[in-house]
């Protein structure tokens, strides 16, 4: 069976995520404990207990990546020979894909995404940033409305191409609010502000992107297995490509829908690690099955399918 590994991004966090992997997988438990020591973050508290840190970007990002990596090591513990044809992630999830495919060490990935979250929050703390989901419009209509807004000196940009009829736009919150009716008048079923204090994947993160690139230069391996870029929806496998594409990643839209469509014919199914957000999107994009591993029981069920 030809498989693709997929990894969720920010917004998939929940208190209690990863606990089933921690309690049932020796490797997942060791990974969390090593991560806490290495990153100087109490991940057991952050993931499993009520706290106000989990929704702060600098903690959200390593927490989500750690949850995905715990799901991955728990699966590989049970099925060591399992390999993917390629891996991809949605936004932050691209870093989980890079770690699993040998581009980054697991613990360094957590430190890197901790910094990524901090850099993003730092950039957006200087402005009133936000994101808005737009449902029911063709890509071209959303893009043309964003272009119109930009001509009026408003900061509104297409940020996430999730599936047909679902695009997230990013920019300055007052500008997004002022254009809510513009999207609805064009036929959007919904134009709703998201509970986000950052504006991901748009030019407002230029400084964060540059700072992240400095960190990536130090940590990326020269070569690795196939990862699909959010920035151009194509496969890359080396550090030189990665530096260019990941520099673009924070300031360019996430081409998730395009990535799935470009490569779905090469695989039989997708495995999502740590959440089921992408499974929901994939149902609207592809006819290929997506198996979501959100707890240890999901691993048992998946292994029955592929035996």
197 is catalytic: no
90 is catalytic: no
Give the whole-angstrom CA distance, residue 34 versus residue 15: 20
Distance of CA 8 to the CA centre of its chain: 5
Give the whole-angstrom CA distance, residue 300 versus residue 307: 11
Numbers of helices and strands, H then E, in the chain: 14, 10
Rg of the chain, C-alpha, whole Å: 19
Catalytic residue among 68, 91, 252, 286: 91
Catalytic residue among 200, 201, 209, 252: 201
DSSP 254: B
Report the 10 Å Cβ neighbour count for 305: 10
Collapsing DSSP states into helix, strand and coil, what is residue 162? strand
Distance of CA 172 to the CA centre of its chain: 21
Q: Which of 84, 12, 92, 64 minimizes the C-alpha distance to 254? A: 92
Looking at the DSSP bridge assignments, the partners of residue 163 are 166
- Residues recognised as catalytic: 91, 201
């Amino acid at each position: 069976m030809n498989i693709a590994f997929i990894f969720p991004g920010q917004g998939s966090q929940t208190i209690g995520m990863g606990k089933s992997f921690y309690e049932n997988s020796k490797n997942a438990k060791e990974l969390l404990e090593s991560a806490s020591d290495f990153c100087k973050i109490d991940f057991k508290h952050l993931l499993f207990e009520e706290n106000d840190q989990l929704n702060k970007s600098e903690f959200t990002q390593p927490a989500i990546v750690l949850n995905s990596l715990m799901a991955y090591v728990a699966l590989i513990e049970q099925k060591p020979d399992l390999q993917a044809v390629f891996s991809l992630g949605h936004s932050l999830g691209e870093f989980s894909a890079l770690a699993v495919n040998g581009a980054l060490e697991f613990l360094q990935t957590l430190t890197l995404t901790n910094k990524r979250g901090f850099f993003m929050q730092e950039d957006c703390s200087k402005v009133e940033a936000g994101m808005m989901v737009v449902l029911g419009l063709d890509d071209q209509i959303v893009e043309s409305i964003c272009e119109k807004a930009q001509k009026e000196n408003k900061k509104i940009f297409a940020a996430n191409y999730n599936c047909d009829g679902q695009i997230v736009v990013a920019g300055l919150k007052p500008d997004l609010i002022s254009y809510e009716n513009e999207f609805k008048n064009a036929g959007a079923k919904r134009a709703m502000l998201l509970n986000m204090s950052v504006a991901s994947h748009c030019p407002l993160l230029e400084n964060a992107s540059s700072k992240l690139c400095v960190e990536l230069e130090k940590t990326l391996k020269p070569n690795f297995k196939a990862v699909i870029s959010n920035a151009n929806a194509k496969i890359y496998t080396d550090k030189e490509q990665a530096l260019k594409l990941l520099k673009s990643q924070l300031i360019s839209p996430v081409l998730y829908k395009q990535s799935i469509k470009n490569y779905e014919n090469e695989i039989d199914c997708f495995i999502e690690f740590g959440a089921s957000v992408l499974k929901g999107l994939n149902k609207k994009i592809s006819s290929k099955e997506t198996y979501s591993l959100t707890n240890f029981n999901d691993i048992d069920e998946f292994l029955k399918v592929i035996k």
